[in-house]
Structure 1
């Protein structure tokens, strides 16, 4: 059995669902359309590893393997990622994998943004005073102004 999931930005999700319904869905594999915020292949690979996948990544192809399930993520010219699952997987398991992947991807994006803020703070005249992580994984950074630019 194989399952293909088309991963698209949320703004395009409604149009894709309408197109999928209009297409009739004939074919050997099941296709599901899933909203996603995934764009960066490095963060996608890191998120896949966080879900326990063994990952092999190229420019526009990322292969992932879990116990009994393999997936190939391909990115088209339009930036839309499509995940093709095969092995011991059905539609509900594929959707669950993508949900877990989306959560892991969100954590990777958050970590990258926090790191970028830390790296750029000094150049912006800021000093990191404190950093706290809440129970819901929200990160709070408090910066102090080191210098004032006078025009």
Structure 2
């Protein structure tokens, strides 16, 4: 079986939200489905695919992922939008399920990257990280002290 997915960025997805996932068949009779996603960065996408247990080969315009019995080729179009073509033991619902799992992993990768950037840049802004706590909803709460190092009162 073969399934192709168009991964619509969230900015565009707001317009298409009423339609959800849309599917059709191309001229070769293959299922082509549009799925809402936030994926843009190829490194974060490759890391999110690895998080799902995929063996990944990555380049700037194309990423290949392979799971047991399923293979997916992710390609970026001229407009920057990724599309995924699934082959193997996969149907439309399984392909969409995989993309949603990858999208969730991508969100975690973005969160890690932002947290790393905050930790790295805090000292230059005069901030000292006092605590870091994971919340019940998988969020992270950082508490910074302002102006405590290298500053004298008075």
2:45 corresponds to which residue?
44
Paired residues, number: 146
2:122 corresponds to which residue?
121
| TM-score, length basis structure 1 | 0.89
How far, CA to CA, are the matches of 1:16 and 1:57 in structure 2?
30
Unaligned runs of 5+ in 1: none
Unaligned runs of 5+ in 2: none
How far, CA to CA, are the matches of 2:4 and 2:133 in structure 1?
39
| TM-score, length basis structure 2 | 0.87
2:80 corresponds to which residue?
79
Report the CA distance between 1:38 and its aligned residue.
0.5
2:99 corresponds to which residue?
98
Q: 2:36 aligned with 1:35, yes or no?
A: yes
1:67 corresponds to which residue?
68
1:141 corresponds to which residue?
142
Task: Give the alignment's Cα RMSD to 1 decimal.
Answer: 2.2
2:12 corresponds to which residue?
12
Question: Which moves more between the two structures, 52-61 or 24-33?
Answer: 24-33
